Amino acid sequence: MKTSAFFALALMTFSGAVAQKKPSSKGPDTRPNIILIMVDDLGYSDIGAFGSEIKTPNIDQLAGEGIRFREFYNNSICAPTRASLITGQYPHKAGVGYFNVNLGLPAYQGYLNKESLTLAKCCGMPGTAHC
């Protein structure tokens, strides 16, 4: 793997768990810290935690102390993969079956449809602390 590709990591950090505790709360904050790393053009074994000969100590530490998901399937191009990631749906159901080009079909409209909730919308809704 080329070093330049490694530094092209797209980091999405959901830092709601870093919010300040309310002064009236007691005990430690048990909400999880979530770091989601989505990369482009990275093979399964291109980082140390998955068997690479390339040293990636910080990512290896995160992988060793956290949970590694091994069954997220990419959609071979970036926009549909991102649509799947933020909606939890197949990209065609979310309206992004291809890039951001409207091909005249609902599955290929090039943007998220109104029926697709994103992680950000879900967690911003009142009473959705379970997101």
Quick one: pLDDT at residue 51? 87
Q: Over 90: is that where the pLDDT of 61 sits? A: yes
Q: Are residues 66 and 8 in the same domain?
A: yes
User: What average pLDDT score do residues 90-116 get?
Assistant: 90
Quote the pTM value: 0.58
pLDDT for the residue numbered 42: 79
- Do 93 and 42 have their domain in common? no
Domain that holds residue 32: 1-71
Q: Specify burial of residue 62 (Cβ count, 10 A radius: 0-12, 13-18, 19+).
A: middle
For residues 114 and 104, membership in a common domain is answered with yes
| Residues 33 and 82 placed together within one structural domain of the fold | no
**Number of domains forming the structure of the chain:** 2
**Run of H or E including 86:** helix 78-87
- If pLDDT is split at 50, 70 and 90, which confidence band does 37 have? confident
* Rounded distance between C-alpha atoms, residue 113 and residue 82, angstroms: 14
What mean pLDDT is predicted for residues 103-121? Answer: 89
Residues 9 and 55 reside in one and the same domain: yes
Based on the domain organization, do 10 and 62 belong to the same domain? Answer: yes
79 and 55 belong to one structural domain:
no
Provide the β-strand partners of residue 12: 36
Percent of the chain whose pLDDT exceeds 90: 16
pLDDT at 112: 92
